[in-house]
A = this chain, B = another copy of it.
Amino acid sequence: MHSAKWFLITFALFEAMPSSVAARLPDDLQRQIREYRTAHEKDIVQEFERLLSLPNRATETSDIEHNAEFIQTMLERRGVAVRMLRVPGAQPVVLGELHTPGASRTIGIYAHYDGQPVDPAQWRSPPFDPVMRDANGKDIDWEAAARLDPLWRVYARSASDDKAPIEATMAALDALRAANAPVSVNVKFMFEGEEEAGSTHLAQILNQNPDALDADIWLLCDGPVHQSRRMQVFFGARGETDLEITTYGPARPLHSGHYGNWAPNPIVLLTHLIDSMRDTNGKILIPGFYDDVRSLTTAETQALARTPAADEQLKQELAIPSPEGGGSLLAEQILKPALNVRGIQAGHVGVQAANVISTEAEGSIDFRLVPNQTPEKVRERVEDHIRHQGFFIVHDEPDISTRREHAQIVRLQWGSGYPPYRASMDNPAAQSIIRMIETATGGAVIQVVTLGGSVPMYLLEGKNHTPVIGVPIANHDNSQHAANENLRLQNMWDAIQMYAAIFAGF
């Protein structure tokens, strides 16, 4: 069924393609890619684990550089010309360009090679020492195994977010070459090194290298597939801006008995402030916060209605009997802005708890934005709100005389921000990519209005308004951003089939 459907839909495309590709039936190609992968899966995992063993915290410059060099070599080994795009103080963008003789169209592949911070104490094994485990979490000596079970998972920071697409695209090129199936388009690989730091310099790098963005469509390869394990393509992403909040108590720690309910408690100031900003149901209480949220288009409303809800499964899996949102589905909730408290560190708890009034308390928040909100406007509204709560706002560490002068001082440190993005859902290039994915992975692709997470789609759109769609490959249960991040092998295998189909068929 899928191949027949594929044939009808992509018939028009075939006419414009080199004859060697058009002559090959998609089913044949898919089989050949699968055979190549089956024969080489240990090589693929080996290269993937070498990539994962390179520490890639976004904040560690020299670590990041080793990743960039390793990826450069990966690309060059496949005949891809590489340029390192740099600006001072930034991690390089590794830009790979595969020129296909005779091809007039260009497809852009975006992924990022930096990772979220790690707290090794919370990991079962060191985050940069990849481990294979079976579905029950048992360690597997995969190199000694006769074959790799597709339900096994590789555990390491960035196994899913976002080194998997780097490995999968490279393996797809290898598989096409082995199948003697030529690539049909020019392919541009843009591998960023600062995504988890908020893509701080990407705009600047792209401004200095405007040709880097030239493409007919960009595939942003980040994020998870649907919770049902079906492939999904997303047409937008929430924006993001994050905020570190520090409140202040007495200049030195005080005994809570001798000074308790006289010396201001900075933790209480912080909890009170956070509590003024959102309720326990996810609703943001900051005045005007929702003012710029635009309503859905008809296509978006229809897509939302077609999106299968995995809510009941997720509620079981995640032990969430009563989600935030008062009955709305997850897919509806991520169409709204969000305020997430990422952490509070203040004083001590448990056996370390001491009867002390702390000198300060620190909280960390990330805001998710939707069209037409902007990070700038959100920041303004948040600061207005905090000021109206009676706080004196500073942006640097307040000195003792400032602390003597002002009650309720709060220090606000804003991280970099992303605006939200939404592509038009009926873009023809996007729709043809979707048909190819359906052929390659043997199932209907879910078309999602927006990803809940934040990825720099708005930057890839560029001045030419190139369509950008998100094509995630990671399993949804990958512990992305947290400890024990992992990639399920089947997701890597599906991704290789998919990229090969796109590179050969676009």
Residues of A within 8 A of B (CB): 59, 116-117, 119, 223-224, 237-238, 240, 242, 244, 248, 250-265, 267-272, 274-275, 278-280, 282, 315-325, 328, 330, 333-334, 336-358, 361-364, 366, 368, 400, 403-408, 451-454, 476-477, 479-483
Contact = CB atoms under 8 A, between A and B. Distances in A.
Contact of A260 (B256, B263, B316, B368): B368
A265 B481 contact: no
A39 to B, nearest CB: 34
Contact of A255 (B269, B347, B361, B480): B480
Give the residue among A244, A267, A282 with the most B Cβ atoms within 10 A: A267
B342 A356 contact: yes
Contacts of A253: 479, 481-483
Nearest to A353: B364
B363 A316 contact: no
A347 B341 contact: yes
A95 to B, nearest CB: 26
Contacts of A350: 244, 345, 362, 364
Nearest to A325: B262
Contacts of A340: 256, 260-261, 265, 355, 357
Nearest to A348: B343
B354 A482 contact: yes
Given A267-B344, A268-B280, A345-B345, A325 B261 contact: yes
Given A240-B257, A368-B257, A262 B324 contact: yes
29 contacts: A116-B355, A242-B355, A251-B317, A251-B319, A252-B482, A253-B482, A255-B453, A257-B454, A259-B452, A260-B334, A261-B333, A262-B282, A262-B334, A264-B320, A265-B324, A267-B274, A271-B344, A280-B408, A315-B404, A319-B400, A321-B405, A321-B407, A342-B348, A344-B345, A344-B349, A345-B350, A347-B364, A349-B362, A353-B366
Contacts of A341: 265, 267-268, 271, 346-347
A338 B119 contact: no
A334 B257 CA distance: 8
A119 B265 contact: no
Contacts of A400: 319
A354 B116 contact: yes
Contacts of A354: 116-117, 342, 481-482
A330 B280 contact: no
The 3 closest A-B CB pairs, nearest first, are A257-B453, A343-B347, A253-B482
A269 B405 CA distance: 33
Contacts of A224: 255, 258
A366 B362 contact: no
Contacts of A338: 256, 260-261
B355 A342 contact: yes
A327 to B, nearest CB: 11
Contacts of A363: 349
A257 B333 contact: no
Given A117-B348, A254-B318, A261-B338, 19 more contacts: A119-B352, A223-B258, A251-B320, A256-B342, A256-B481, A257-B368, A257-B451, A258-B453, A260-B366, A261-B325, A264-B320, A264-B322, A264-B323, A267-B343, A268-B278, A280-B408, A347-B364, A350-B362, A355-B454
Contacts of A240: 257, 355
